[in-house]
Structures are given as C-alpha cells and as structure tokens.
Amino acid sequence: MRNALGLMLASVGAAVVIAAVWFWTSSPRASRVVEIDTTGGPGFGFAHFKQLDFLTDKEIVLTFDDGPWPVNTPSVLKALADECTKAVFFPIGKHATYHPEILKQVAAAGHSVGAHTWSHANLNAKKMNEQQARDEIEKGFSAVKLALGAAPSPFFRFPQLQHGPAAVAYLGSRNVAIFSCDVDSFDFKAKDATQIINSVMTKIDKAGKGIILMHDFQRHTAEALPLLLRRLKAGGYKVVQMKAKAPLQTLADYDEALVKDMKLPVASARPVNNVVQTVSD
C-alpha cells in the first residue's frame, strides 16, 4: 500500500514538473527586458528610424494602438497573459477617458503604456499647425495619466505613422521616444483573424526581427492573437519587453484643462428622493 502511494505521489510530482517545463518553454515569453533612456526623443522601428538597431535575430516587440476598447483590449490582455508576454500599448486619449478601467488593467498587467494623441489626428496634415499638433500630443498624454492615475511612459506613436518634422522635434525636446514599426499588420484592413496571422508571419519571417504594429481596438486582432503568439513561438521568435527608464512628466496646464473639460454641468441640485419616488413595489 505504501509502495503504491509512493508511486502515485511520484507520478503526480513528475507530471507537475513536466507541465511546468512545458509551460515555461511553449510560449514566446519575454527573452529580455530593455530599459529605454528617452532623452532627446530616440526613434524605433526601421520603417522610419534606422539608427538604433537593438534587436537581435528572431527578437520581436509587440505593440498595440488605438485602445482601450471593451471586449477587444481585455481579449488581447488575456492572450498576452496566457503566454506570459508583455507589450507596449499606445492608447488614444479620448478612448482612455471613455474606458479608464480597461487602461488600468493594461498597466496592472505590467505592460508599457505610452500615448497615440488625443483624437488620432494626422499631425502631418496640411491643416494641422504646430500648436494644434502639440495640443494633440500633450492632451493625449494627460488623458492617459488621468485614466491610469499615474504617469505614462514617454513613448509615442504618430497616427498613420505620419511624422511631421516639427512634431518630431517637439517630442525630442520633451524627451519622448517615437515608435514606428518594422512590421505593420494592417489588421484594420483584414477580413478575418487568419489574414492577420498570415500577414504578420510572412512579413516577420522576411524581416527576421522587429517591432510589430497591431491594434487592440480591432476585433479580428483580438481573435488572431492567441494563435499568432503560438505561431511566433513555433517560429523561434522571442519577445523583447521595452520599458522606459523614467515616466513622462505631463504638463500641468493640460492636466488641469482636461480635468476641467471632463466635468459635466450639474443639471439639478434637487436631492434624489425629490426626483425619484417609489410608487409601486
């Protein structure tokens, strides 16, 4: 009886060890964590910036734009958590004010959170002047700070990857790193999850490494991510987590203006029992 019990316990222990080893080796978890000194506004992603080539062969950075958004962003977070993988998120300021609880989940999971302007405006558009571009940038960061209750990372991605020279210079003066990409998933154009997976894998296999641009705002991206992460692992890719050396100091004027704008006018000062009364149970 003792021998049988001992064998059973030994089998259970072996199964736990095997399961742990399988879990540890079966996901594209972070191969390393890199700390970014954003002084002077360094640029990342060979689509626009070729100076800082810090990734080695088969290393990738996962990035997500346009969130936070109900259902889709939490689904992306779950897929990343299931694979113990970290990413960089670039939320739109307005979306951050709509769904601060979701953005808090992003930060709580250990991901880096930068910004993607206030309203996803094209900062390189002809009608966009320098002050308007600065307002979009700063209001976006202030909105992320308001949603998180903490300072964001000094990471920024231009909407549509439209880099205006004046805005680039301004971000440099604010010591904000600019993210382009090496692989653009174009997931917002995809008809289904399979198309996203195939597109990303084809492009990353050709590039060999790089920063991958996706959107946690998109439903098909959320659907694609679990299998995509498994495909990346099978292809030998390892995720690099990018973290800022120091948080961004947002500008007080924008913080205060945003809080003021967010306050809705009081329609009535009457107590609730004067407005709503139970007439039937």
User: Which tens digit of pLDDT belongs to each residue from 255-272?
Assistant: 999 999 887 444 444 565
- Is a pLDDT exceeding 80 seen at residue 274? no
Residues near 10 by Cβ (< 8 Å), separated by ≥ 6? none
- Is a pLDDT exceeding 70 seen at residue 9? no
Give yes or no for a contact between 240 and 31, defined as CB atoms under 8 angstroms apart. yes
Give residue for tokens 């694979």: 83
User: pTM of the entire structure?
Assistant: 0.84
Closest to 216 (Cα-Cα) out of 20, 65, 98, 71: 65
Protein fold of 27-262 = TIM Barrel (3.20.20)
Across the range 179-194, mean pLDDT stands at: 97
DSSP 3-state assignment of 268?
coil
- Is a pLDDT exceeding 60 seen at residue 22? no
Closest to 89 (Cα-Cα) out of 109, 119, 63: 63
Q: What is the mean pLDDT of the chain?
A: 88
C-alpha to C-alpha distance for 109 and 78, rounded to whole angstroms: 10
User: Which tens digit of pLDDT belongs to each residue from 107-137?
Assistant: 999 999 999 999 999 999 999 999 999 999 9
> What is the per-residue pLDDT for 2?
41
Closest to 64 (Cα-Cα) out of 13, 18, 136, 114: 114
- Percent of the chain scoring above 70 in pLDDT: 83
Domain boundaries, the chain: 27-262
| Two tokens, residue 229 | 């992460």
Q: Would you tell me how many other CB atoms lie within 10 Å of the CB of residue 275?
A: 8
Backbone angles phi, psi at 265, to 5 degrees: -65, 145
| Two tokens, residue 174 | 């604010």
DSSP per position, 157-206:
--GGG---HHHHHHHHHTT-EEE--SEE--GGG-SSHHHHHHHHHHHHHH
Closest to 65 (Cα-Cα) out of 163, 148, 170, 184: 184
> What is the per-residue pLDDT for 135?
98
- Is a pLDDT exceeding 80 seen at residue 205? yes
| Two tokens, residue 263 | 């306050």
- Is a pLDDT exceeding 90 seen at residue 6? no
**Residue 157 to residues 31, 41, 164, 168, 277: CA-CA distances in angstroms?**
24, 12, 12, 11, 51
C-alpha to C-alpha distance for 171 and 138, rounded to whole angstroms: 10
